Structure 1
C-alpha cells in the first residue's frame, strides 16, 4: 500500500489488505442524485489534491437535457470548471468491480474556494451548520424502500415483479413475510456482502407490501454521513440486482396498484453542550422544541414537497390506503399520518417524516426535511392536535402534481433562506425544464381513452 491509503477508513483498508488498489472513482451527486465524476488510476489519485468538472452537471435534467440555470451575471452557460476535493472519510470499496476499486465522494468549490451553493451535499451541510450555530446537533435515520423487478428493456411495457427462487413472480401483500424475503435471498446476500465490504451497518431488511418491495433501515447518525450512505446504497443495491438478472428501482411508484417507495426520515436533535435529546425534558416529557419541530414540518413541508417528491411519478405515490400519506396530520404510532411519532423512550424520542419518496436526492431530501423542522424551532410553530384515527379520512393538504409543488416552492422565501437562494433558483429552473419536457409526452392512457371518444 502507498502512504495515503494508511489513512483510509478502516473498512476501506480491510478491503485492500493484501491487494493492490487499481482505480479510484471520484464521485459527486448531481441534482437527481446520480453519481457524476471520473475514474482515475490509483497512482494518479495519490498525486492529485482535486480535479475539475463543469458546473453544468447541476443544470442537467434527469433526461440529459439542460435547464437555463447558469448565472447570466457570471458569464452565463460557459460550463465553468468547479474544483472538486475529496472527503477521504467517505472512501469506500466498490466491491462489484472486476478490479480493486475505491469510491470517494468529493465536495464542490468555486475558484474563490467557496462551496458551490447548488451542489446537493453542500446544501445539506449548510442546513446542518445552521443547527450547530443554535447549539443543536441534528440526528437522522433514513429508511429505504425499493422494488426488485424483472428486467425491463422496453419503456412502453409495464414494470413487472422479479422472479423469485421458487420460479414464481414475487407476490404482493406479503408485508413482513420472511418467506417473501427468502425469495430474494441471493440478491439480499449480495446486498449484505457489498454493505459489509463498504463498512455500512444495516439495521434490518423487511418485505414491504408491494410485489418485490423491500425496505432497508439504517442506524441513526450524522445527516451528511447518512445521506452519503443512501447515495452509496442506491448504487450498491442496483449492482447486486444486476448480478441476478433483475433490476432494482427507486421510483416512487413503479407498478400500478402497488404501494409506492418512500424514504422515511427519522429526526432527533441533540443539545451539543449537554448531549441530551432536546425533544425530551429532564423528567422525560415532551418539550416545546418537540412540538415546534412538528409544527415546522406541518407549516413548511408543502413548500418542500417539490424536493421531497421531485418527479411527475412522485405524486402517484400519495394515494389513499396505499401506505403513503396524503396530508400533514401527525400522530403517535400512527402510520396513516404524514408525520409519525414512533414508540420510544425519552432519550430516543424522534419525529418521522413519511412524505419523502425514495426517488428524491438523499442530500436534498434530508436537507429539506431538516429545514422545515429548523424553521419550526426558530419560529416556535405549534402543530395541530395529534390525530388518533385514520388520516386517510381527512383531505389532502400537500401539492398533488409537480407543477403545483414547484409554484409553492418558488414562493417559499423562508425555505429559500435556509436551503440557499442560489440553490432554490437552480433547482426550480431545472425541475421546470423536466416538467415541461414531460408535458410534451402523450401517454397510453390518453391514446386509449381520448383518441376516439372526445
Structure 2
C-alpha cells in the first residue's frame, strides 16, 4: 500500500504591519513595499508655497522609488497669489539665475489620495539648496525653524487648529457674489445655524465623504460643527506637534475642496467670502511643554498660572500686531477684522472671553493653553503657526509682561491691529526680533510678495466704486 501523502498547504507570507499604515513610513525600503502593497501607480510630490497652495510634481511610483532627483524653481516661492512676482526693494532681490531647489520627500507624510480614480499617493516635501543647505524662506522650513528655536531651550510647542470654511454654489464668474448652497432639504441654507445638528445634516453625504477621505489619509478630525454663517462649517483637529498639524491643515484644505467638488459645490477658505455673513477663522490653541519634565510650563505644581504663562501672552500682545500679515495675508482678510464683529480687532486677552484676541479657555490646569483667535482661514497654516509661536517665544525669552485680563466686551472700543494689508506689511518689516526668528530672507521675500499683491488688487475697480462714484462725483 503506497504511503499517504501529507497535504502541503502553501502559506502566504503576511505583509509587514507598516504597509497598513494610513499615513507615513520610516524609510525608502518601507515606502517601496507600502506603494507596491496598495498598487499605487502615481505619486504627487507636493509642498506648500507662500499662499499654502500645493506645488510640486507628479510621477510614476517606480520613478519615485528609483532615487530620482526632484527640483522646483526658487521662483515658485516668490510668486504672488495671482502668479506675478514682486519688484526688488526693501531687502528683497529676485535671484538672477532663478535656480532650482531640491525637493526632499518627508516619508512620514506618505498617504493615499482617495479622490483620484487611479491608485495615487501623495507625499509632502521639504526644500533644500543644491548643496543640501535648508532653504530659509519656504513655509514648512520657516515653521520648522521656529520649533527648533523652542527645542534649543528645552521646550516643545503643542497646538490644535480650528478651521472654518464655507460651502457655496459653484461660481465660475468672479463678478457675481457668492451664494449659499442648497442642502438636502432643497432650500438654500440660511445663517444663524451655529452648532445646529440640522445644519450639519443638510450636507450629510458631503460630510460623509470628508470623513471617508480624511480617514483614508490618516487625518484625525476631533469635532465638526455648523458655524453661524450660511453654509459655514468648522473642523477641529486634535492637538499635537506644530509641523504635523500644519501638514494636516494643508491636506485637509485639499480634502474638503475635493469632497465639495464631488457634490458640485465649492468649499472656500476665504476670510470673508459673503457680504453680511461672519468671516472664517483658523483659531490656534497653544501650550508649551518642558521636554525633560514633560509638563506644561503654563501651570505650576500647585495648579496655578506660572510667570511663563504671562510672558507668553505678553509676547503675543506685543508682537502679533506686527505679525498680522502672516495671520491675515490678503486684502480680503481685513474685511473679517471689523469692529464689533465676531473676529477680534484688539490685542487683549481674557479668561474664556471670545471678544479678545487671546482667549484662555476653561480647562484642567494640565491642559492650560492660549487660543489665538486672530488668524483667518485663508492663512497658510505653516506661516500662521510659525508667526503665533514666534511671538510667544519672544515673550518667553524677554520675559515680557502681559496686560491685565479683560473681563468685559473687548471688541467695541479701540482697534489695536492694522486696518489693512499695507499697514500690516509696514509693521512686519519693522519687527527685527520677529524677523530674526522667522528668518530674514523669508521676512523680506514675504513682505515683497504682499506689497505686490496689494498693487494688483488696486488695479481692480469694485462694485462699490461703480455704485457710489459712477454718477455721483
Shorter-chain TM-score category? over 0.9
**Change beyond 3 A, Cα 1:291–1:315:** same
Is 1:134 aligned with 2:153? yes
Asked whether the equivalents of residues 49 and 85 of structure 1 are also in contact (C-alpha less than 8 Å), the reply is no
> Which of 435, 438, 452 pairs up with 2:454?
435
CA distance in 1: counterparts of 2:207 and 2:117, whole angstroms: 20
1:31 paired residue number = 50
2:286 aligned residue? 267
Structure 2 counterpart of 1:116, from 135, 143, 151: 135
How far the C-alpha of 1:16 sits from its partner, in A, is: 6.4
Match of 2:469 among 445, 450, 454: 450
Give 1:391 deviation, angstroms: 1.0
Matches of 2:467 and 2:92, distance apart in 1: 48
Matched, 1:356 2:375: yes
- Please identify, of 137-146 and 314-323, the stretch whose mean Cα deviation from structure 2 is larger: 314-323
How far 1:79 sits from its partner (Å)?
Answer: 1.7
Supply the distance in 1 between the matched residues of 2:69 and 2:159 (Cα, whole angstroms). Answer: 30
Change (3 A) 1:394 1:77: same
Structure 1 residue 342 and structure 2 residue 353: aligned?
Answer: no
Give the aligned length: 451
Could you tell me the TM-score, scaled by structure 2's length?
0.92
Root mean square deviation, CA, Å: 2.0
For residue 275 of structure 2, what is the aligned residue in structure 1?
A: 256
Pairwise CA distance, 1:327: 0.5
Structure 1: segments with no counterpart, 5+ residues: none
After the TM superposition, which of the residue ranges 155-164 and 7-16 deviates more from structure 2? Answer: 7-16
2:110 to 71, 75, 91: 91
> In structure 2, what is the equivalent of residue 11 of structure 1?
22
Aligned-partner SS, 1:231: helix
2:179 to 160, 182, 193: 160
- Quote the offset at 1:394 in angstroms: 2.5
**Whole-Å separation in 2 of the counterparts to 1:75 and 1:326:** 34
Q: Using a 3 Å threshold, how does the CA distance of structure 1 residues 8 and 268 change in structure 2: closer, same or farther?
A: farther
Task: Please give the residue correspondences for 1:2-401 in structure 2 after superposition, counting only pairs within 5 Å.
Answer: 10-12=21-23, 19-48=38-67, 50-68=69-87, 76-401=95-420
Shift of 1:78: 2.3
Cα contact 1:88–1:104 (8 A) shared by 2: yes
- Distance in 2 of aligned mates of 1:196 and 1:60: 33
Instruction: String of CA shifts for 1:318-352, please: whole Å, max 9, x gaps.
Output: 12343211101111011111100001011110000
- 2:380 and 2:413 map into 1 onto residues whose CA distance is 29
Q: Residue 382 and residue 49 in structure 1: after superposition, are their counterparts in 2 closer, same or farther (change >3 A)?
A: farther
Deviation for aligned residue 1:126: 0.3
Tell whether the 8 Å contact from 1:331 to 1:337 is kept in structure 2 after alignment.
yes
Range 253-262 or range 321-330, more displaced? 321-330
Change (3 A) 1:15 1:443: farther
Secondary structure of the 2:240 match is coil
In 2, the alpha carbon distance for the partners of 1:158 and 1:441 equals: 15
Distance 1:69 1:26, change over 3 A: farther
Between the aligned partners of 1:12 and 1:442, the Cα distance in structure 2 is 46
Return the offset for 1:19: 3.5
Shift of 1:441: 1.1
Show structure 2 runs of 5+ residues with no match.
Answer: 1-15, 25-32
Q: Is the 8 A contact 2:224 2:236 kept in 1?
A: yes
For 2:167 and 2:93, the matched residues in 1 are separated by 44
Provide the secondary structure at the position in 2 that maps to 1:11.
Answer: coil
Distance 1:17 1:43, change over 3 A: closer
Taking a change above 3 Å as real, the CA distance of residues 401 and 23 of structure 1, as seen in their structure-2 partners, is: same
Q: Which moved more, 1:368-377 or 1:44-53?
A: 44-53
Cα distance between partner residues in 2 of 1:276 and 1:232: 30
Match of 1:404 in 2: 423
Paired residue secondary structure (1:399) = coil
Distance in 1 of aligned mates of 2:146 and 2:177? 39
- Would you say the 8 A contact 2:88–2:94 is kept in 1? no
**Is the CA contact (8 Å cut-off) linking 1:69 and 1:426 kept in structure 2?**
no
